[in-house]
Amino acid sequence: MMYFDYRFMEVARPIIEHEQYQEIRKIKHHDESVYDHSVKVAFYAYQLAYKHGLDWKSTIRGALLHDFFLYKFKKSFSLRIITDSIKHAIVHPLIAFDNASKYFDLNEKEENIIKAHMFPFGFPKSKEAWIVSYVDKYIAIFEYASNFKKMAARKQPAYTAE
């Protein structure tokens, strides 16, 4: 699928093959790596942008880099999880943009796609930015559900009925 779409890959390749970008393969996010999540968001957002005649190149680049943070967000099961989660939601788009702009030359639209993807923590200024924010949330729901299922399965006691 995405790796066979020449239009998508032409724009995505310089980013996804970048040494620093490869680092996010090691960072877990929802149910998979930040890398898998970001490539997936970029591909679905690109399909929507392309279909609607929008700036699909900026959509791909912004989406690929929307979570370009190089740390694992640790969830602790305490009251702090709420404040920590809000802090992470506000801060990680800014960190992602800081990192992205170190290695890639981004236009204004791409900058806003990254910084505003956690709407309502940030405001998307283009249709492309709205698309990325929407696709990111949509995909995250499935990733969370799949992660939750795996966690629940692991907690089940080993039980075999005969």
Query: Residue 34 Cβ, how far from Fe ion at the closest point, in Å?
Result: 8
**Three-class SS state of 78:** coil
**Nearer of residues 67 and 128 to Fe ion, judged by Cβ:** 67
Closest CB 96 distance from Fe ion, rounded Å: 7
Angle between helices 127-155 and 56-64 (to 10 degrees): 40
Please state the closest distance from residue 121 (CB atom) to Fe ion, in A. Answer: 10
Closest to Fe ion by CB, 31 vs 136, is: 136
Please give the radius of gyration of the chain, using alpha carbons only, rounded to the nearest integer.
17
Strands (DSSP E) contained in 32-82 are: 32-33
Can you give the binding site for Fe ion, defined by CB under 5 A? 67, 136
Shortest Å, Cβ 10 to Fe ion? 23
Closest approach of Fe ion to the CB of residue 162, in Å: 45
Residue 125 or 153: the one with the smaller Cβ distance to Fe ion is: 125
In whole angstroms, what is the distance from residue 20 CA to residue 13 CA?
A: 13
Between helix 127-155 and helix 34-51 the angle, nearest 10°, is 140
The smaller minimum CB distance to Fe ion, of residues 11 and 24, is found at 24
**Which of 30, 57 has the CB closer to Fe ion?**
30
Using CA atoms, how far apart are residues 104 and 123, in angstroms rounded to an integer?
22
Which SS3 state, helix, strand or coil, does residue 74 take? coil
